[in-house]
Chains A and B, each alone.
Chain A
Amino acid sequence: MDRENKRRIYLDNGATTRTDPRVVEAMLPYMTAEYGNASSLHSFGVKARDAMEKARATIANAIHAKPSEIIFTSGGTESDNLAILGFVSANKGRGNHIITTRFEHPAVLNTCKHLESEGFRVTYLPVTREGIVGLEELEMAITDRTVLVSIMHANNEIGSIQPLDRIADVCKSKSRGICLHSDAVQSFTKLPIDVSKTRVDMLSMSAHKIHGPKGVGALYLREGVKINRLVFGGHHERDLRPGTENIAGIVGFAKAVELMNRTEIASMTKLRDMLIRGIMEGVSDVVLNGSQSERLCNNVNISFKYVEGESLLLSLDAEGIAVSTGSACSSRSLEPSHVLLSIGLRPEMAHGSLRFTLSRFTTEEEIDHVLEVLPRVVKRLRDISPLKGG
Protein backbone atom coordinates (compact mmCIF):
# COMPACT_ATOMS: atom_id res chain seq x y z
CA MET A 1 0.00 0.00 0.00
CA ASP A 2 1.18 3.52 -0.70
CA ARG A 3 2.27 4.80 2.64
CA GLU A 4 2.50 8.40 1.51
CA ASN A 5 -1.21 8.61 0.82
CA LYS A 6 -2.22 6.97 4.03
CA ARG A 7 -3.75 8.91 6.84
CA ARG A 8 -1.18 9.58 9.56
CA ILE A 9 -1.83 10.25 13.23
CA TYR A 10 0.95 11.81 15.25
CA LEU A 11 0.88 10.94 18.96
CA ASP A 12 4.54 11.48 19.76
CA ASN A 13 4.36 15.12 20.82
CA GLY A 14 6.56 14.40 23.83
CA ALA A 15 9.37 13.85 21.31
CA THR A 16 8.60 16.92 19.26
CA THR A 17 5.61 18.81 17.92
CA ARG A 18 4.48 20.15 14.59
CA THR A 19 5.58 23.77 14.30
CA ASP A 20 2.39 25.80 14.34
CA PRO A 21 1.86 27.56 10.99
CA ARG A 22 1.33 30.82 12.89
CA VAL A 23 4.76 30.32 14.45
CA VAL A 24 6.32 29.77 11.04
CA GLU A 25 4.62 32.90 9.79
CA ALA A 26 5.98 34.93 12.70
CA MET A 27 9.49 33.59 12.07
CA LEU A 28 9.75 34.12 8.32
CA PRO A 29 10.39 37.88 8.28
CA TYR A 30 13.38 37.35 10.55
CA MET A 31 15.01 35.17 7.92
CA THR A 32 14.09 37.05 4.78
CA ALA A 33 13.69 40.75 5.65
CA GLU A 34 14.88 41.46 9.18
CA TYR A 35 17.82 39.10 9.12
CA GLY A 36 20.23 41.39 10.98
CA ASN A 37 22.62 40.38 13.73
CA ALA A 38 21.22 41.55 17.07
CA SER A 39 24.67 42.84 18.03
CA SER A 40 24.88 45.20 15.05
CA LEU A 41 24.33 48.94 15.48
CA HIS A 42 22.52 49.61 12.19
CA SER A 43 18.78 49.43 11.62
CA PHE A 44 18.94 45.73 10.68
CA GLY A 45 20.57 44.97 13.99
CA VAL A 46 18.15 47.17 15.91
CA LYS A 47 15.13 45.39 14.38
CA ALA A 48 16.58 42.01 15.30
CA ARG A 49 17.42 43.13 18.82
CA ASP A 50 13.97 44.64 19.34
CA ALA A 51 12.32 41.42 18.23
CA MET A 52 14.54 39.39 20.52
CA GLU A 53 13.84 41.59 23.54
CA LYS A 54 10.11 41.48 22.89
CA ALA A 55 10.33 37.69 22.74
CA ARG A 56 12.36 37.62 25.96
CA ALA A 57 9.68 39.64 27.72
CA THR A 58 6.96 37.28 26.46
CA ILE A 59 8.77 34.23 27.78
CA ALA A 60 9.64 35.92 31.08
CA ASN A 61 6.04 36.98 31.48
CA ALA A 62 4.82 33.41 31.02
CA ILE A 63 6.58 32.40 34.25
CA HIS A 64 6.36 35.78 36.04
CA ALA A 65 10.09 36.39 35.71
CA LYS A 66 12.01 39.50 34.69
CA PRO A 67 13.17 39.61 31.07
CA SER A 68 16.76 39.91 32.31
CA GLU A 69 16.39 36.51 33.93
CA ILE A 70 15.87 34.72 30.59
CA ILE A 71 18.88 33.37 28.69
CA PHE A 72 18.27 31.97 25.23
CA THR A 73 19.93 28.66 24.39
CA SER A 74 19.74 26.02 21.69
CA GLY A 75 17.17 23.97 23.62
CA GLY A 76 16.42 21.90 26.68
CA THR A 77 19.63 19.90 26.70
CA GLU A 78 21.81 22.99 26.57
CA SER A 79 19.72 24.71 29.22
CA ASP A 80 20.14 21.73 31.55
CA ASN A 81 23.87 21.63 30.94
CA LEU A 82 24.31 25.38 31.37
CA ALA A 83 22.30 25.31 34.61
CA ILE A 84 24.07 22.39 36.24
CA LEU A 85 27.63 22.69 34.94
CA GLY A 86 27.48 26.50 34.97
CA PHE A 87 26.28 26.58 38.56
CA VAL A 88 28.77 24.14 40.06
CA SER A 89 31.60 25.83 38.18
CA ALA A 90 30.66 29.25 39.62
CA ASN A 91 30.08 27.94 43.12
CA LYS A 92 33.17 25.85 43.74
CA GLY A 93 34.09 25.73 47.37
CA ARG A 94 30.49 25.89 48.60
CA GLY A 95 30.16 22.12 48.47
CA ASN A 96 30.38 19.17 46.13
CA HIS A 97 27.08 17.38 46.66
CA ILE A 98 24.25 17.36 44.09
CA ILE A 99 20.81 15.82 44.48
CA THR A 100 18.73 14.72 41.52
CA THR A 101 16.32 11.85 40.78
CA ARG A 102 16.61 8.47 39.14
CA PHE A 103 14.20 9.36 36.39
CA GLU A 104 15.55 12.63 35.04
CA HIS A 105 15.99 13.26 31.34
CA PRO A 106 19.42 12.12 30.08
CA ALA A 107 20.40 15.81 29.71
CA VAL A 108 20.39 16.05 33.51
CA LEU A 109 21.29 12.46 34.36
CA ASN A 110 24.36 12.28 32.15
CA THR A 111 25.50 15.75 33.19
CA CYS A 112 25.39 14.60 36.82
CA LYS A 113 27.22 11.38 35.93
CA HIS A 114 29.89 13.47 34.27
CA LEU A 115 30.24 15.54 37.45
CA GLU A 116 30.63 12.35 39.48
CA SER A 117 33.66 11.52 37.36
CA GLU A 118 34.97 15.00 38.23
CA GLY A 119 34.76 14.28 41.95
CA PHE A 120 31.25 15.47 42.79
CA ARG A 121 28.93 13.34 44.91
CA VAL A 122 25.50 12.83 43.43
CA THR A 123 22.41 11.41 45.15
CA TYR A 124 19.80 9.96 42.78
CA LEU A 125 16.50 10.08 44.67
CA PRO A 126 14.05 7.23 44.22
CA VAL A 127 10.50 7.95 43.08
CA THR A 128 7.21 6.35 44.04
CA ARG A 129 5.30 3.81 41.98
CA GLU A 130 3.36 6.78 40.60
CA GLY A 131 6.54 8.56 39.61
CA ILE A 132 6.62 11.27 42.28
CA VAL A 133 9.73 12.21 44.22
CA GLY A 134 9.39 12.05 48.00
CA LEU A 135 9.97 15.20 50.05
CA GLU A 136 11.19 13.19 53.02
CA GLU A 137 13.76 11.44 50.89
CA LEU A 138 14.90 14.83 49.61
CA GLU A 139 15.12 16.23 53.15
CA MET A 140 17.12 13.23 54.27
CA ALA A 141 19.53 13.40 51.34
CA ILE A 142 20.53 17.01 52.04
CA THR A 143 23.91 17.48 53.73
CA ASP A 144 25.88 20.62 54.54
CA ARG A 145 27.85 19.94 51.34
CA THR A 146 24.72 20.04 49.13
CA VAL A 147 24.86 22.92 46.67
CA LEU A 148 22.41 22.00 43.97
CA VAL A 149 19.14 20.10 43.60
CA SER A 150 17.88 19.29 40.09
CA ILE A 151 14.41 17.79 39.86
CA MET A 152 12.28 17.82 36.72
CA HIS A 153 8.87 19.49 36.81
CA ALA A 154 7.06 16.78 34.85
CA ASN A 155 8.51 13.53 33.65
CA ASN A 156 8.95 13.21 29.91
CA GLU A 157 7.97 9.54 29.68
CA ILE A 158 5.19 9.06 32.21
CA GLY A 159 4.06 12.66 32.63
CA SER A 160 4.09 12.60 36.42
CA ILE A 161 4.14 16.08 37.96
CA GLN A 162 6.52 16.84 40.80
CA PRO A 163 5.55 19.09 43.73
CA LEU A 164 7.95 21.84 42.70
CA ASP A 165 6.66 24.35 45.27
CA ARG A 166 7.28 22.04 48.18
CA ILE A 167 10.59 20.84 46.74
CA ALA A 168 11.66 24.49 46.61
CA ASP A 169 10.53 24.98 50.21
CA VAL A 170 12.72 22.08 51.33
CA CYS A 171 15.71 23.51 49.45
CA LYS A 172 15.25 26.95 51.01
CA SER A 173 14.16 25.97 54.54
CA LYS A 174 16.44 26.32 57.56
CA SER A 175 18.23 29.11 55.64
CA ARG A 176 19.93 26.47 53.57
CA GLY A 177 19.84 28.38 50.34
CA ILE A 178 20.41 25.32 48.22
CA CYS A 179 20.07 26.16 44.54
CA LEU A 180 17.13 24.47 42.81
CA HIS A 181 17.09 23.72 39.10
CA SER A 182 14.14 22.16 37.33
CA ASP A 183 13.90 20.74 33.84
CA ALA A 184 10.52 22.14 32.81
CA VAL A 185 10.80 21.16 29.16
CA GLN A 186 7.67 19.01 29.19
CA SER A 187 5.60 21.17 31.54
CA PHE A 188 6.35 24.67 30.27
CA THR A 189 3.06 26.34 29.25
CA LYS A 190 1.14 23.15 30.09
CA LEU A 191 1.40 23.72 33.83
CA PRO A 192 1.36 27.10 35.53
CA ILE A 193 4.79 28.17 36.72
CA ASP A 194 5.19 31.32 38.78
CA VAL A 195 8.78 31.96 39.84
CA SER A 196 7.65 34.91 41.97
CA LYS A 197 5.98 32.35 44.23
CA THR A 198 7.84 29.08 43.61
CA ARG A 199 11.37 29.45 44.85
CA VAL A 200 13.04 27.70 41.95
CA ASP A 201 16.34 29.27 40.82
CA MET A 202 16.77 27.85 37.35
CA LEU A 203 14.28 26.44 34.84
CA SER A 204 14.99 24.77 31.50
CA MET A 205 12.55 25.37 28.66
CA SER A 206 12.33 24.36 25.04
CA ALA A 207 10.40 25.64 22.02
CA HIS A 208 9.87 22.53 19.92
CA LYS A 209 7.77 20.75 22.54
CA ILE A 210 5.14 23.49 22.33
CA HIS A 211 4.75 23.89 18.56
CA GLY A 212 7.77 26.17 18.31
CA PRO A 213 10.85 25.49 16.18
CA LYS A 214 13.64 23.05 17.03
CA GLY A 215 17.01 24.42 18.07
CA VAL A 216 15.85 27.08 20.52
CA GLY A 217 15.20 27.05 24.23
CA ALA A 218 15.79 29.15 27.30
CA LEU A 219 17.13 29.03 30.81
CA TYR A 220 15.44 31.05 33.50
CA LEU A 221 18.17 32.21 35.88
CA ARG A 222 17.00 33.91 39.05
CA GLU A 223 18.60 37.29 39.69
CA GLY A 224 21.60 36.90 41.99
CA VAL A 225 22.28 33.25 41.13
CA LYS A 226 25.79 32.91 39.76
CA ILE A 227 26.62 30.59 36.91
CA ASN A 228 29.62 30.39 34.57
CA ARG A 229 29.51 30.16 30.81
CA LEU A 230 30.29 26.81 29.22
CA VAL A 231 31.50 28.09 25.87
CA PHE A 232 33.60 31.15 25.08
CA GLY A 233 32.97 33.89 22.58
CA GLY A 234 31.31 37.28 22.44
CA HIS A 235 29.21 39.12 24.99
CA HIS A 236 25.81 37.73 24.05
CA GLU A 237 23.19 36.74 26.64
CA ARG A 238 24.84 38.49 29.59
CA ASP A 239 28.19 36.88 28.72
CA LEU A 240 26.71 33.53 29.69
CA ARG A 241 25.85 32.12 26.30
CA PRO A 242 28.00 33.51 23.50
CA GLY A 243 27.08 33.12 19.84
CA THR A 244 24.91 35.08 17.42
CA GLU A 245 21.34 34.77 18.60
CA ASN A 246 18.88 32.65 16.65
CA ILE A 247 16.44 35.51 16.14
CA ALA A 248 13.91 33.69 13.96
CA GLY A 249 13.92 30.78 16.40
CA ILE A 250 13.56 33.07 19.40
CA VAL A 251 10.66 34.94 17.76
CA GLY A 252 9.04 31.58 16.96
CA PHE A 253 9.54 30.41 20.54
CA ALA A 254 7.77 33.49 21.89
CA LYS A 255 4.95 33.11 19.37
CA ALA A 256 4.51 29.48 20.48
CA VAL A 257 4.28 30.62 24.09
CA GLU A 258 1.69 33.26 23.19
CA LEU A 259 -0.44 30.68 21.40
CA MET A 260 -0.70 28.23 24.29
CA ASN A 261 -4.00 28.65 26.10
CA ARG A 262 -6.18 27.10 28.73
CA THR A 263 -8.87 25.91 26.35
CA GLU A 264 -6.55 23.62 24.50
CA ILE A 265 -5.08 22.29 27.73
CA ALA A 266 -8.61 21.37 28.81
CA SER A 267 -9.22 19.77 25.44
CA MET A 268 -5.99 17.75 25.58
CA THR A 269 -6.88 16.60 29.09
CA LYS A 270 -10.26 15.42 27.88
CA LEU A 271 -8.77 13.50 24.94
CA ARG A 272 -6.04 12.08 27.20
CA ASP A 273 -8.65 10.67 29.57
CA MET A 274 -10.67 9.35 26.67
CA LEU A 275 -7.61 7.51 25.37
CA ILE A 276 -6.71 6.09 28.78
CA ARG A 277 -10.27 4.93 29.43
CA GLY A 278 -10.60 3.50 25.93
CA ILE A 279 -7.43 1.44 26.24
CA MET A 280 -8.24 0.22 29.74
CA GLU A 281 -11.67 -0.89 28.58
CA GLY A 282 -10.72 -2.13 25.12
CA VAL A 283 -7.54 -4.10 25.85
CA SER A 284 -7.03 -6.67 28.62
CA ASP A 285 -3.89 -6.95 30.76
CA VAL A 286 -2.75 -3.34 30.59
CA VAL A 287 -1.30 -1.05 33.24
CA LEU A 288 -1.28 2.76 33.27
CA ASN A 289 2.22 3.99 34.14
CA GLY A 290 2.53 7.17 36.19
CA SER A 291 0.00 9.01 38.28
CA GLN A 292 -3.72 9.27 37.54
CA SER A 293 -4.14 12.70 39.07
CA GLU A 294 -0.68 14.28 38.93
CA ARG A 295 -0.32 13.86 35.21
CA LEU A 296 0.59 16.13 32.29
CA CYS A 297 -2.41 17.04 30.16
CA ASN A 298 -1.04 15.31 27.06
CA ASN A 299 0.66 12.14 28.38
CA VAL A 300 -0.57 8.56 28.26
CA ASN A 301 1.87 5.76 29.10
CA ILE A 302 0.64 2.20 29.18
CA SER A 303 2.28 -1.23 29.48
CA PHE A 304 0.77 -4.09 27.50
CA LYS A 305 1.46 -7.49 29.06
CA TYR A 306 2.91 -10.28 26.89
CA VAL A 307 4.00 -8.03 24.03
CA GLU A 308 7.06 -5.98 23.27
CA GLY A 309 6.96 -2.25 22.64
CA GLU A 310 8.95 -2.00 19.45
CA SER A 311 6.70 -4.58 17.79
CA LEU A 312 3.70 -2.55 18.93
CA LEU A 313 5.24 0.71 17.74
CA LEU A 314 6.06 -0.65 14.28
CA SER A 315 2.66 -2.32 13.94
CA LEU A 316 0.96 0.98 14.78
CA ASP A 317 3.32 2.81 12.42
CA ALA A 318 2.22 0.48 9.65
CA GLU A 319 -1.29 1.77 10.40
CA GLY A 320 -0.08 5.36 10.23
CA ILE A 321 -0.05 5.91 14.00
CA ALA A 322 3.14 7.36 15.51
CA VAL A 323 3.90 6.70 19.19
CA SER A 324 7.02 5.90 21.26
CA THR A 325 8.05 3.09 23.59
CA GLY A 326 10.20 2.52 26.66
CA SER A 327 11.38 -0.79 25.28
CA ALA A 328 15.11 -1.40 25.01
CA CYS A 329 14.65 -2.40 21.40
CA SER A 330 13.78 1.07 20.23
CA SER A 331 16.65 2.66 22.06
CA ARG A 332 20.25 2.07 21.13
CA SER A 333 20.96 0.38 24.41
CA LEU A 334 19.84 -3.02 25.57
CA GLU A 335 18.21 -1.61 28.67
CA PRO A 336 14.54 -0.75 28.94
CA SER A 337 13.57 2.78 29.97
CA HIS A 338 15.27 3.93 33.18
CA VAL A 339 12.11 5.89 33.98
CA LEU A 340 9.88 2.81 33.94
CA LEU A 341 12.40 0.81 35.96
CA SER A 342 12.58 3.66 38.48
CA ILE A 343 8.85 3.37 39.20
CA GLY A 344 9.32 -0.31 39.94
CA LEU A 345 8.10 -1.83 36.69
CA ARG A 346 9.42 -5.31 35.94
CA PRO A 347 11.66 -5.26 32.84
CA GLU A 348 9.16 -7.24 30.76
CA MET A 349 6.46 -4.67 31.55
CA ALA A 350 8.84 -1.84 30.70
CA HIS A 351 9.57 -3.57 27.38
CA GLY A 352 5.85 -3.63 26.66
CA SER A 353 5.17 0.07 27.18
CA LEU A 354 3.84 2.66 24.79
CA ARG A 355 3.76 6.42 25.22
CA PHE A 356 1.06 8.42 23.45
CA THR A 357 1.57 12.18 23.68
CA LEU A 358 -1.11 14.55 22.42
CA SER A 359 -0.96 18.08 21.08
CA ARG A 360 -3.24 20.96 20.18
CA PHE A 361 -3.73 19.33 16.80
CA THR A 362 -4.95 15.99 18.20
CA THR A 363 -8.63 15.39 17.44
CA GLU A 364 -11.29 13.22 19.00
CA GLU A 365 -11.64 11.40 15.71
CA GLU A 366 -7.95 10.50 15.82
CA ILE A 367 -8.28 9.09 19.32
CA ASP A 368 -11.30 7.06 18.17
CA HIS A 369 -9.27 5.67 15.30
CA VAL A 370 -6.39 4.69 17.60
CA LEU A 371 -8.83 2.95 19.92
CA GLU A 372 -10.17 1.03 16.97
CA VAL A 373 -6.77 -0.08 15.65
CA LEU A 374 -4.91 -0.73 18.90
CA PRO A 375 -6.83 -3.78 20.24
CA ARG A 376 -6.36 -5.56 16.91
CA VAL A 377 -2.62 -4.81 16.83
CA VAL A 378 -2.13 -5.98 20.41
CA LYS A 379 -4.12 -9.15 19.75
CA ARG A 380 -2.06 -10.06 16.69
CA LEU A 381 1.18 -9.78 18.67
CA ARG A 382 -0.24 -11.60 21.67
CA ASP A 383 -1.24 -14.45 19.38
CA ILE A 384 2.43 -14.78 18.41
CA SER A 385 3.68 -14.48 21.99
CA PRO A 386 4.55 -17.54 24.10
CA LEU A 387 3.92 -15.56 27.28
CA LYS A 388 0.20 -15.12 26.81
CA GLY A 389 -1.53 -17.90 28.69
CA GLY A 390 1.82 -19.59 29.24
Chain B
Amino acid sequence: MYSKRVIEAFTNPHNVGVLEDADGIGEVGNPVCGDIMKMYIKVRDGRIVDIKFQTFGCAAAIATSSMITDLAKGKTLEEAEKITRNDVAESLDGLPPIKMHCSNLAADALHKAIEDYRKKQTEKRLVKSLDKNI
Protein backbone atom coordinates (compact mmCIF):
# COMPACT_ATOMS: atom_id res chain seq x y z
CA MET B 1 0.00 0.00 0.00
CA TYR B 2 2.75 2.49 0.93
CA SER B 3 5.95 3.17 -1.01
CA LYS B 4 9.29 2.25 0.53
CA ARG B 5 10.04 5.93 1.03
CA VAL B 6 6.83 6.50 3.00
CA ILE B 7 7.65 3.60 5.29
CA GLU B 8 11.20 4.91 5.69
CA ALA B 9 10.05 8.42 6.58
CA PHE B 10 7.39 7.00 8.90
CA THR B 11 9.84 4.69 10.67
CA ASN B 12 12.63 7.26 11.00
CA PRO B 13 11.06 10.69 10.69
CA HIS B 14 13.36 13.74 10.56
CA ASN B 15 12.96 16.94 12.58
CA VAL B 16 10.46 15.67 15.12
CA GLY B 17 9.68 17.92 18.07
CA VAL B 18 9.03 21.46 19.18
CA LEU B 19 10.99 24.68 18.55
CA GLU B 20 10.57 26.57 21.79
CA ASP B 21 11.58 29.89 20.23
CA ALA B 22 9.74 29.36 16.92
CA ASP B 23 9.17 32.41 14.74
CA GLY B 24 6.09 30.87 13.20
CA ILE B 25 3.75 27.99 14.10
CA GLY B 26 1.19 26.38 11.81
CA GLU B 27 -1.43 23.84 12.91
CA VAL B 28 -3.84 21.94 10.64
CA GLY B 29 -6.31 19.07 10.92
CA ASN B 30 -8.45 17.92 13.82
CA PRO B 31 -8.69 14.84 16.01
CA VAL B 32 -12.09 13.89 14.60
CA CYS B 33 -10.68 13.13 11.15
CA GLY B 34 -7.64 11.55 12.73
CA ASP B 35 -4.83 13.89 11.65
CA ILE B 36 -3.26 16.87 13.43
CA MET B 37 -0.01 18.49 12.36
CA LYS B 38 1.92 21.23 14.07
CA MET B 39 4.82 22.86 12.21
CA TYR B 40 7.39 25.12 13.87
CA ILE B 41 9.79 27.34 11.88
CA LYS B 42 12.80 29.45 12.75
CA VAL B 43 13.53 32.20 10.20
CA ARG B 44 16.75 34.20 9.62
CA ASP B 45 17.10 36.74 6.79
CA GLY B 46 14.03 35.40 5.02
CA ARG B 47 15.26 31.80 5.13
CA ILE B 48 13.96 28.81 7.12
CA VAL B 49 16.98 27.89 9.22
CA ASP B 50 15.24 25.36 11.42
CA ILE B 51 11.97 23.45 11.28
CA LYS B 52 10.33 20.85 13.49
CA PHE B 53 6.97 19.07 13.54
CA GLN B 54 4.58 17.14 15.74
CA THR B 55 1.98 14.90 14.16
CA PHE B 56 -0.92 12.79 15.35
CA GLY B 57 -2.01 10.62 12.46
CA CYS B 58 -1.44 7.69 10.17
CA ALA B 59 1.84 6.64 8.58
CA ALA B 60 1.21 8.95 5.60
CA ALA B 61 0.63 11.92 7.90
CA ILE B 62 3.91 11.31 9.74
CA ALA B 63 5.86 10.61 6.53
CA THR B 64 4.62 13.74 4.75
CA SER B 65 5.42 15.83 7.84
CA SER B 66 8.97 14.53 7.89
CA MET B 67 9.37 15.03 4.15
CA ILE B 68 8.23 18.62 4.16
CA THR B 69 10.70 19.55 6.89
CA ASP B 70 13.45 18.13 4.67
CA LEU B 71 12.13 20.03 1.64
CA ALA B 72 11.70 23.33 3.47
CA LYS B 73 14.88 23.49 5.55
CA GLY B 74 17.28 26.12 4.17
CA LYS B 75 14.77 27.47 1.66
CA THR B 76 13.69 31.10 1.46
CA LEU B 77 10.12 31.77 2.56
CA GLU B 78 9.16 32.44 -1.07
CA GLU B 79 10.58 29.09 -2.14
CA ALA B 80 8.96 27.27 0.79
CA GLU B 81 5.60 28.79 0.02
CA LYS B 82 5.75 27.22 -3.43
CA ILE B 83 6.08 23.66 -2.07
CA THR B 84 2.81 21.91 -2.85
CA ARG B 85 1.06 18.79 -1.56
CA ASN B 86 2.00 17.16 -4.84
CA ASP B 87 5.69 17.95 -4.32
CA VAL B 88 5.55 16.21 -0.96
CA ALA B 89 3.75 13.17 -2.37
CA GLU B 90 6.17 12.95 -5.32
CA SER B 91 9.20 13.13 -3.04
CA LEU B 92 7.77 10.10 -1.22
CA ASP B 93 7.26 8.19 -4.50
CA GLY B 94 3.52 8.77 -4.28
CA LEU B 95 0.75 8.19 -1.75
CA PRO B 96 -2.29 5.92 -1.93
CA PRO B 97 -5.14 7.91 -3.58
CA ILE B 98 -7.26 8.10 -0.41
CA LYS B 99 -4.32 9.54 1.54
CA MET B 100 -3.73 12.32 -0.99
CA HIS B 101 -6.66 14.16 0.45
CA CYS B 102 -6.85 13.27 4.13
CA SER B 103 -3.28 12.83 5.28
CA ASN B 104 -1.33 15.09 2.95
CA LEU B 105 -1.66 18.21 5.10
CA ALA B 106 2.01 18.91 5.70
CA ALA B 107 2.25 21.59 2.96
CA ASP B 108 -0.75 23.33 4.48
CA ALA B 109 0.88 23.25 7.92
CA LEU B 110 4.09 24.75 6.53
CA HIS B 111 2.23 27.51 4.68
CA LYS B 112 0.31 28.32 7.84
CA ALA B 113 3.54 28.54 9.82
CA ILE B 114 4.95 30.99 7.23
CA GLU B 115 1.72 32.98 7.35
CA ASP B 116 1.99 33.08 11.14
CA TYR B 117 5.60 34.26 10.85
CA ARG B 118 4.63 37.07 8.44
CA LYS B 119 1.76 38.14 10.66
CA LYS B 120 4.03 38.33 13.67
CA GLN B 121 6.60 40.33 11.67
CA THR B 122 3.94 42.82 10.60
CA GLU B 123 2.81 43.16 14.20
CA LYS B 124 6.41 43.72 15.31
CA ARG B 125 6.89 46.42 12.66
CA LEU B 126 3.65 48.07 13.71
CA VAL B 127 4.72 48.09 17.34
CA LYS B 128 8.12 49.51 16.33
CA SER B 129 6.63 52.33 14.24
CA LEU B 130 4.16 53.11 17.00
CA ASP B 131 7.04 53.32 19.48
CA LYS B 132 8.85 55.70 17.14
CA ASN B 133 5.84 57.97 16.81
CA ILE B 134 5.32 58.23 20.54
Residues of chain A touching chain B, judged by Cβ–Cβ distance below 8 Å, are 306-308, 310-311, 314-315, 318, 327-330, 332, 334, 336, 346-348, 351, 383-387
A347 CB contacts on chain B under 8 angstroms: 31-34
A386 touches B54 (CB 8 A): yes
Q: Which residues of chain B from 44 to 83 have any CB-CB distance to chain A below 8 Å in the complex?
A: 54-62
Check A384/B16 contact, CB under 8 A, given A306-B56, A311-B10.
yes
* Of B16, B35, B59, B102, the contact of A314 (CB 8 Å cutoff): B59
Give every chain B residue within 8 A of A332 (Cβ-Cβ): 98
Q: How many inter-chain residue pairs (CB < 8 Å) link A and B? A: 72
Contact B58 A387 (CB under 8 A): no
CB of A329 within 8 A of CB of B103, answer yes
Interface status of B94 (Cβ within 8 A of chain A): no
**Inter-subunit contact B102/A311 (CB<8 Å):** no
Size of chain B's interface in residues, with CB distance under 8 A?
A: 28
Q: Tell me if B59 and A383 are in contact (CB < 8 A).
A: no
Main SS of chain B's interface residues?
mixed
- The answer on a CB contact under 8 Å between A311 and B36 is no
Report B-chain residues with C-beta under 8 Å of the C-beta of A346: 31
Query: Is residue B122 contacting chain A, with contact meaning CB distance below 8 A?
Result: no
Q: A310-B59, A314-B10 are in contact. Are A385 and B54 (CB under 8 A)?
A: yes
Whether the Cβ atoms of B36 and A351 lie closer than 8 Å is: no
How far in angstroms is the closest Cβ of chain B from A59? 37
A173 to B16, CA, bound (A): 62
Residues B61 and A328 in contact, CB atoms below 8 Å apart: no
Question: Contact partner of A308 among B34, B54, B98, CB < 8 A?
Answer: B34
A387 neighbours in B (Cβ, 8 Å): 31, 36, 56
In-complex Cβ contact of A348 among B34, B38, B99, B103 (8 A): B34
Asked whether A386 lies within 8 Å of B38 as measured between CB atoms, the reply is yes
**Overall SS of chain A's interface:** helix
Q: Which residues of B contact A327 (CB under 8 A)?
A: 34, 58
Write 24 A-B pairs (CB below 8 A) sorted by A numbering. Answer: A306-B56, A308-B34, A308-B57, A308-B61, A311-B10, A311-B61, A311-B62, A318-B7, A327-B58, A328-B102, A329-B57, A329-B103, A334-B98, A334-B102, A336-B34, A346-B31, A347-B31, A348-B34, A384-B13, A384-B16, A384-B56, A385-B56, A386-B55, A386-B56
The answer to whether B34 and A307 touch across the interface, beta carbons within 8 angstroms, is no
Contacts of B35 in A (CB 8 A): 308
CA A318 to CA B11, docked complex, whole Å: 9
Inter-subunit contact A351/B59 (CB<8 Å): no
**A207 to B36 alpha-carbon distance, docked (Å):** 41
List of B residues within 8 angstroms of A329 by Cβ: 34, 57-60, 99, 102-103
User: Which residues of B have CB within 8 Å of A318?
Assistant: 7, 11
Bound Cα distance A386, B40 (Å): 12
Residues from chain B with Cβ under 8 Å of A308 in the complex? 34-35, 56-58, 61
A328 near B56: Cβ-Cβ < 8 Å? no
Per the bound structure, the CA–CA distance linking A231 and B74 in Å amounts to 65
Closest to B10 in A: A314
Enumerate chain A residues within 8 angstroms of B99, measured Cβ to Cβ: 329
